[in-house]
Structure 1
Amino acid sequence: MIEKKLVLGTANFGNYYGSISKKFIKEAEAKKIIVFCEKKQINIIETSPDYKDAEKILGRIGCKNFRVVTKIPKIEENISIEANYIEKKLNSSLINLKKKNIYALMFRNPLNYIDKNKKKLWEEAKELKKRGIIEKLGITIYDPAELEESFHILRPDLVQFPYNLFDRRIESSGWLNFLYQNNVETHCRSIFLQGLLLRNNEELPLSFSKYEKVWHEYYKWLNKNNINTLEACLNLVINNEKILKIVVGIEDIKQLESILLIKRKKINFPFWDNIINKELIDPRKW
Structure 2
Amino acid sequence: MPDRSRLGLGTVQFGLDYGIANSEGQVGAEEVSAILDFAAKAGLKVLDTAAAYGSSELVLGEQLPAASSFRIVTKTIPVRRPNITGEDAQKVAETFQASLRRLRQPSIDTVLVHHADDLLVPGGEALYAQLMEWKQRGLIARVGVSVYDRPQIDRLLERYRFDVMQLPVSVYDQRLIANGTLAMLHDAGVEIHVRSVFLQGILLMQTHDLPAHFVAMAGHHECYLDRLQAANVSPLAAALGFVARLAEVGIVLVGVNSLRHLQECIAAFDQSAALDCAEFAIDDAQLIDPRCWPSRG
Same fold (TM over 0.5): yes
CA distance in structure 2 between the aligned counterparts of 1:24 and 1:139, rounded to whole angstroms:
26
Residue 165 in 1 paired to residue 171 in 2?
yes
Which residue identity is paired with 1:185? E
**Which of 22, 34, 37 is the matching residue for 2:36?**
34
Matches within 5 A, 1:168-207: 168-207=174-213
Provide Cα deviations, 1:215-249, integer angstroms capped at 9, x if missing partner.
Answer: 13322332343322112101111111110101100
CA distance in structure 1 between the aligned counterparts of 2:179 and 2:117, rounded to whole angstroms:
18
What is the aligned partner in structure 1 of residue 231 from structure 2? Answer: 225
What is the aligned partner in structure 2 of residue 6 from structure 1? Answer: 7
Measured after TM superposition, the shift of residue 2 of structure 1 is: 4.5
Residue 269 in 1 paired to residue 277 in 2?
yes
What is the aligned partner in structure 1 of residue 130 from structure 2? Answer: 124
Which residue identity is paired with 1:72? T
Matches within 5 A, 1:80-119: 80-82=85-87, 84-119=90-125
5+ long unaligned stretches in structure 1: none
Q: Secondary structure at the match of 1:13?
A: helix
Residue 216 in 1 paired to residue 207 in 2?
no
RMSD, aligned CA:
1.8
* Aligned residue-pair number: 285
| Kept after mapping to 2: 8 A contact 1:85/1:121 | no
- Larger mean CA deviation between 204-213 and 184-193 belongs to 204-213
| Kept after mapping to 2: 8 A contact 1:114/1:154 | no
| Kept after mapping to 1: 8 A contact 2:143/2:162 | yes
CA distance in structure 1 between the aligned counterparts of 2:80 and 2:120, rounded to whole angstroms:
16
What is the aligned partner in structure 1 of residue 20 from structure 2? Answer: 19
Measured after TM superposition, the shift of residue 151 of structure 1 is: 1.4
Measured after TM superposition, the shift of residue 202 of structure 1 is: 2.6
**Relative to 1, partners in 2 of residues 1:223 and 1:41: Cα closer, same or farther, differing over 3 Å?**
closer
Residue 55 in 1 paired to residue 57 in 2?
yes
**Relative to 1, partners in 2 of residues 1:191 and 1:233: Cα closer, same or farther, differing over 3 Å?**
same
Which residue identity is paired with 2:244? I
CA distance in structure 1 between the aligned counterparts of 2:137 and 2:6, rounded to whole angstroms:
28
Q: Secondary structure at the match of 2:21?
A: coil
Percent identical pairs in the alignment equals 27
Matches within 5 A, 1:55-74: 55-63=57-65, 64-74=68-78
**Relative to 1, partners in 2 of residues 1:259 and 1:106: Cα closer, same or farther, differing over 3 Å?**
same
Which residue identity is paired with 2:20? S
5+ long unaligned stretches in structure 2: none
Which residue identity is paired with 2:44? I
CA distance in structure 2 between the aligned counterparts of 1:170 and 1:277, rounded to whole angstroms:
14
CA distance in structure 1 between the aligned counterparts of 2:35 and 2:276, rounded to whole angstroms:
33
- Using the size of structure 2 for normalisation, the TM-score is 0.90
What is the aligned partner in structure 2 of residue 285 from structure 1? Answer: 292
CA distance in structure 2 between the aligned counterparts of 1:157 and 1:249, rounded to whole angstroms:
23
